[in-house]
Structure 1
């Protein structure tokens, strides 16, 4: 490992410095397509993944099917998606979750700024389905400067309850 670390030809900064502007633009376009699809699915409360996401499946999940629509209408994105760089596909479930976490951080920051120093209350509601999975919703309620009551949805959390 030390030899690999000391090998200047494989150093990350050297590799990044040798990217062409075309490679950088292609990576940005590919990432931008994934970001817009994640944003659309999240804001519409649509599930991302399907039961079978293999290439032979007729329905590969909403994220990959939406990406297929984008590539159908945009030839440049289609070229990049069909021949991606080695490790830069930006379509894995892990990348989708990372993009969602960026959106989550922005929404939480906006809620904190909107609430500010005013008094607020936290409302928590919980429901359990037959498979013993619980969903807990968290909402902030506060009164703004114009004396209007506002409710801000913070999140929906999944819990697993085990009964012994």
Structure 2
């Protein structure tokens, strides 16, 4: 069995002039396997970029993270504010107003913090934050499975399937629960909640446009919630459906652990027929299926092999 794997740069995987193409000129049965963990990363990124409000959310989130992570001193100021707030809440059961907006070390920090706070205290930001927390919570198991040093490809592919099923369940049943939780958070932090039955208005200031055909709830349910999940499922389908996936799944039948528990003669035949056709002509394939049938009947039950 032959194979080669490398990153996804075009000069590596390019089907015309990339390294993959050069290998294939020598042997058409050398198969390129693209890092599955990176496929998932690309799927998550692509899905996040397809819906404008999701893209804007991550853009704002990036600015907020840069604000906090820019200098160690800002970390100290944030931690100090958090300690004071916790102590105050314990003493009075109320929230403290001390924060970087009022107590930042400079005007620029206070200005950036004020802008970040405005973004964070919007219903749109809170809704998408919790939506992406849900989606990434579902994909996290797959993410960790694909980064295992010793990857069980069958388990990983099963995890792809269960991830898509969980996303579909969230799509069909999760909106009302998510919306309810988002409203609770908004009430807790005094964030204005839009009227769900009102006509949805996009844009700001003079560019505001009323869309009389949809409500605010329709926008969040279908244009954000459903669209984000659909894009994610679409990307998972596109990234994990190629020949490399089938090749690795079929190859698992040759795994010797647990007394060849995964042995499947039909899969071995398929592996030879589809992926290694240069080594198995029609006559050889006919012999192979006969040999595999004998193997399945003879070796599994032969007394000489029972203690292997």
TM-score range, shorter chain: 0.3 to 0.5
TM-score by length of 1: 0.35
Larger Rg: 2
Higher-helix-fraction structure: 2
Greater RCO, 1 or 2 (C-alpha within 8 Å, sep 6+): 2
TM-score by length of 2: 0.22
Higher-strand-fraction structure: 1
